Homo-oligomer: A and B are copies of this chain.
Amino acid sequence: MTDIRRKLQTAGLRPTRQRVALAELLFAKGDRHLAAEDLHGEAVAIGVPVSLATVYNTLHQFTDAGMLRILSVEGSRTYFDTNTSDHHHFYIEEDGEVVDVPVTAQLKVENLPEPPEGMEVANIDVVIRLRRKG
């Protein structure tokens, strides 16, 4: 609670009603991947009538502050990930659902190539696309 307010302060963001509420939703229950509309729905559901535009603003501010990451998955919607450390994802096309690869899997990427001149690696996304067996 107060640590959420502190977290926001540190990021240079005023701990407004909306931002605190959204941050609580995002960071209370471990790793989450969600789109703006999902978060908006949750906020409204618990009686925090924030606007969708503010949810978008807030998600981007949190991303700029390093509190969230944007997932590399195709599709029209942008997914934000509350886990900003290096980890990887299953992606189920049919449902557009994203699931963490369990850390216990110890998935490793080997022989990482040299990036082109003047570039450095920002991060690595591994997306394992799944389809229903049949």
Complex contact B129–A126 (CB within 8 A): no
* Number of this chain's copies in the complex: 2
Set B76, B92, B121: member contacting A128, Cβ < 8 A: B121
Total A residues in contact with B, Cβ cutoff 8 Å: 42
Set B70, B122, B127: member contacting A125, Cβ < 8 A: B127
Set B109, B113, B119, B124: member contacting A132, Cβ < 8 A: B119
Does chain B have a CB within 8 A of A106? yes
Chain B, Cβ-Cβ closest to A125: B127
Bound form: Cα–Cα A107–B101 in Å? 19
Complex contact A101–B126 (CB within 8 A): no
Complex contact B124–A127 (CB within 8 A): yes
Bound form: Cα–Cα A110–B107 in Å? 6
Does chain B have a CB within 8 A of A71? yes
Residue interface mask A89-102, B partner, CB < 8 A = 1: 01111000001011
Binding site for B on A (CB under 8 A): 70-74, 76, 78-79, 90-93, 99, 101-102, 105-113, 115-116, 118-133
- Additional 17 contacts, C-beta under 8 A, given A105-B112, A118-B132: A72-B91, A72-B125, A72-B127, A74-B79, A76-B76, A105-B111, A107-B113, A113-B128, A119-B132, A120-B131, A121-B129, A122-B129, A122-B131, A124-B126, A124-B128, A126-B126, A127-B127
